[in-house]
Amino acid sequence: VDKKDFVLAVEGLTVSFDGFKAVNDLSFYVEEDEIRVIIGPNGAGKTTVLDLICGKTQATDGSIKFRGKELTKMSEHAIVHAGIGRKFQNPSIYEDLTVFENLEISFPRGHGVFGALAFKRDAEVIAAVEEVAETIFLSEDLNKTAGLLSHGQKQWLEIGMLLIQKPDLLMLDEPVAGMSVAERKKTAELLNRITQGRSVIVIEHDMQFVEDIAHRVTVLHQGKVLSEGSMERVKNDPKVVEVYLGH
Ligand code: ADP
């Protein structure tokens, strides 16, 4: 594949915190329809990479191109507008609102929470909410108060709140942490459903889940790529085995 065909091209990315390079001359490329999983020991720089892509942290050096657009000089807000959605580990849903309302207020209309709620529920919004609710296994729970959902369902709802904004790149930080085995399986199914025309980057520690979802795996170590490729290839890479066993 020609490099310009990649949706996301990270090149020479570096960030220093008081002289310590948490991300050090990092390059990797993500294709459309791809689920890329980033793994690596604690402190490898995984979270920092997502922070750099979504503009929460400013790079010291290097470039992040998304559909050819340079992100490193853009604000977090502009990066969201460019089509990048990020889910953090703890769900930030509105616990007192229903599932429907949580999805409705996330529908992109350029209004804040209260402005959006005051809107009439037009057919377009209802259709979008219902479509997303089906994807996140919450069709039967649209009128339920979000605070009453299970831990796993709350995670799915937050993914739904991002999906309704139709991001081209979705980034998830440990999406199955704290989930039951059954919920993990359903989350893998969910992610496999949503890659059409989209890329997904996931930070994950659960290796069974990584096997279930990853098209390619990038192993980070000390802010650099230690190994990259299929799960099969990466898990048999002696460099990876050494880092994980020595951990
Ligand atoms: P991971 O997600 O792989 O566990 P992180 O990206 O959270 O790793 O952290 C990588 C390294 O950068 C760690 O050593 C961490 O302490 C350091 N680090 C991350 N953010 C900051 C910050 N804002 N200031 C100083 N050091 C940081």
- Please write the tens of the pLDDT for every residue from 23-39: 999 999 999 999 999 99
Contact 219, 228 (CB under 8 A): yes
Sheet containing 8-17: give its strands across.
Answer: 20-30, 8-17, 61-66, 69-70
> What is the number of residues in the chain?
247
Residue bearing the CA closest to ligand 1, atom 16: 43
- The finding on whether 119 has its CB within 6 A of some atom of ligand 1 is no
- The finding on whether 48 has its CB within 6 A of some atom of ligand 1 is yes
- The finding on whether 44 has its CB within 6 A of some atom of ligand 1 is yes
- The finding on whether 47 has its CB within 6 A of some atom of ligand 1 is yes
Task: Give the whole-angstrom CA distance, residue 228 versus residue 219.
Answer: 6
* Residue 238 reports pLDDT greater than 80: yes
| Interval 71-99: pLDDT, tens | 999 999 999 999 999 998 777 899 999 99
Residue bearing the CA closest to ligand 1, atom 23: 17
- The finding on whether 179 has its CB within 6 A of some atom of ligand 1 is no
Whole-model pTM above 0.90? yes
Contact 37, 52 (CB under 8 A): no
In the chain, where are the structural domains located? 1-83+169-247, 93-166
Contact 203, 174 (CB under 8 A): yes
Find the 238 Cα to ligand 1 centroid distance in Å.
25
| Interval 161-213: pLDDT, tens | 999 999 999 999 999 999 999 999 999 999 999 998 899 999 999 999 999 99
Contact 32, 215 (CB under 8 A): no
* Residue 156 reports pLDDT greater than 80: yes
Look at the domain 1-83+169-247 and name its fold. Answer: Rossmann fold (3.40.50)
Residue to mutate, 48, 51, 172, 226, ligand 1, most ligand atoms under 8 Å from C-beta: 48
DSSP class of residue 197 equals T
Task: Give the whole-angstrom CA distance, residue 163 versus residue 62.
Answer: 29
